[in-house]
Amino acid sequence: MKINLTEEGQSDTSCLLRIYDIAEFSVHDGPGVRVVIYFQGCNARCEWCHSPHSQLNYAPLLFNPNVCIGCQRCVSACKNQCHVFIENKHIINRDKCIQCGSCVEQCPASVTGVKGSALHLPTVEVSVSSLFEQVSPYLQLGGKKGGITLSGGEALLQTDAAKQLLQLCKQNGYHTAVETSGLLSPEIYKNVLPLVDLWLFGMRVVTGKDHKRHYKHIQKVLKLLTDENANILPRIPMVPGFFDRDDVLEDILELFKEFSLSSVCLNPWNPYYDAHYMQSGIPLQINPPSQEEIKACEDKISLVFTNFNTIKYENNETKH
Ligand code: SF4
Ligand code: SF4
Ligand code: SF4
């Protein structure tokens, strides 16, 4: 969806949200056909993150070389000399970028706000009321079986705005889901708990450098949610070298046992992993796995969860 850019201030009382994308018709992020709002900003810093541009408060300028025609208009459009051509190679110095959008406006292969353009600034600030108005037609199409999913990044980092959006959705009778890594303070979860019908709980950060610390934190948050009888669907991304490790799978199974979690969603490897890093100019943190490694990882994880109610998707449209 193209996100409208000029809506701030329509409602004085609404918080502003920073988002980087909207999916109008997702079937992978909760029951039915759903609107997914991708919030900008994340505190988890997963080593294998497949949406690195979602982590900071503002995403970097994205550059898609596949549609760039090499006209160099961006060079003269940028007052900060961020765009440079060296031996016909387009280099972007994002350190100097102030996200003014001039290069995007001048680029013949870009439309402001449209992803996939040669140049794209994904992060948009929009009031909660304006965003709700914009997605309402799609929520109506999704009907009672669908709803809204707050994803990211980490949606609940923008706690007040997320809460306002959830409140608006509940007032209008929509099913609400929130995707989370489980790594926020318990107070944040308590604050929005009554407004969330389903927690899409990314078990993904039970790994990496902070494995043990993350495990304990996730355990605490799962206790909080299960004590309140929250509806939880754990999600595991199939990332070779991380989630197919025996110690990680054992830890996840321990948590499932401790909190009587009987369903799990297995999210496939995100096929846009390389493209996201390349377009945002962020160095790859891990080497992209081969198809064989991805398949072996999926097979191993699937086997471990044979006795669980397992939801699997063939394609992964989720960006989280
Ligand atoms: S929780 Fe999601 S968005 Fe955040 S760092 Fe991990 S994979 Fe990336
Ligand atoms: S957004 Fe503005 S500062 Fe950044 S590269 Fe484009 S013209 Fe330069
Ligand atoms: S203005 Fe657009 S199409 Fe032209 S070189 Fe820059 S990015 Fe490429």
Read off the pLDDT of each residue in 20-37 and give the average, rounded to a whole number. 96
- Measured N-to-C along each axis, helices 128-142 and 159-171 cross at an angle, to the nearest 10 degrees, of 40
The span from the CA of 180 to the CA of 200, in Å, is 6
- Alpha carbon 16 to its chain's center: 18
The answer to whether residues 99 and 121 touch, using CB atoms and an 8 Å cutoff, is: yes
CATH 3.20.20.70 fits 16-57+123-312, yes or no: yes
The span from the CA of 148 to the CA of 19, in Å, is: 14
Which percentage of the chain shows pLDDT scores above 70?
93
CA–CA distance, 143 with 126 (Å, rounded to integer): 24
pLDDT digits 0-9 by tens, 77-109 = 999 999 999 999 999 999 999 999 999 999 999
pLDDT of residue 294: 95
Number of separate helices (H) and strands (E) present in the chain: 9, 13
CA atoms within 13 A on the CB side of 98: 7
Residues near ligand 1 (Cβ within 6 A) = 42, 44-46, 49, 51, 54-55, 152-154, 181, 202, 320
Distance CA 122, CA 61 (A): 8
Read off φ and ψ for residue 63, nearest 5 degrees. -125, 125
User: Which residue has the least CA distance to atom 2 on ligand 1?
Assistant: 320
201-257 per-position pLDDT tens digit: 999 777 766 788 889 999 999 999 999 999 999 999 999 999 999 999 999 999 999
Question: Is residue 313 predicted with pLDDT exceeding 80?
Answer: no
Q: Which secondary-structure segment (H or E) carries 318?
A: none
Establish whether residue 161 lines the binding site of ligand 2, counting it when its CB lies within 6 angstroms of any ligand atom: no
Please tell me the CATH code under which domain 62-120 is placed: 3.30.70.20
Which atom of ligand 2 is least distant from the CA of 92?
5
- Which DSSP state fits 316? -
Region(s) of the chain under CATH 3.20.20.70: 16-57+123-312
d(CA 181, ligand 1 centre) in Å: 7
Q: Which of 64, 67, 68, 88 to mutate to test the pocket of ligand 3 (most atoms within 8 A of CB)?
A: 68
Residue ranges matching CATH 3.30.70.20 in the chain: 62-120
- On the 0-12 / 13-18 / 19+ scale of CB atoms within 10 A, 150 is buried
Ligand 2 atom closest to the CA of 104, numbered from 1: 6
Confidence (pLDDT) at 204: 76
Separation of 272 CA from ligand 3 center, angstroms?
22
The model's pLDDT over 274-284, given as tens digits with 9 standing for 90+, comes to 999 999 999 99
**Residue 96 corresponds to which tokens in the numbers above?**
């100097």
For residue 1, the model assigns a pLDDT of: 60
User: Is any atom of ligand 2 closer than 6 Å to the C-beta of 192?
Assistant: no
**pLDDT higher than threshold 60 for residue 5:** no
Exposed, middle or buried: residue 53 (CB in 10 Å: 0-12, 13-18, 19+)? buried
CB 241 within 8 A of CB 47: no
How far apart are the CA of 45 and the centre of ligand 1, in A? Answer: 6
At 115-173, the pLDDT tens digits run 999 999 999 999 999 999 999 999 999 998 999 999 999 999 999 999 999 999 999 99
For the record, the structure tokens of 234 come out as: 């754990």
Determine the residue of 119, 120, 121, 279 to mutate for testing ligand 3's pocket, defined as the one with the most ligand atoms within 8 A of the Cβ atom: 119
Pocket test for ligand 2, best of 76, 91, 97 (most atoms within 8 A of CB): 97
Residues 51-87 pLDDT 10s: 999 999 999 999 999 999 999 999 999 999 999 999 9
Give the position, in ligand 3's atom list, of the atom nearest the Cα of 85: 5
- What's the CA gap between 261 and 150, in Å, rounded? 22
pTM of the shown model: 0.92
Q: What is the whole-number distance in angstroms between the Cα of residue 282 and the centre of ligand 1?
A: 14
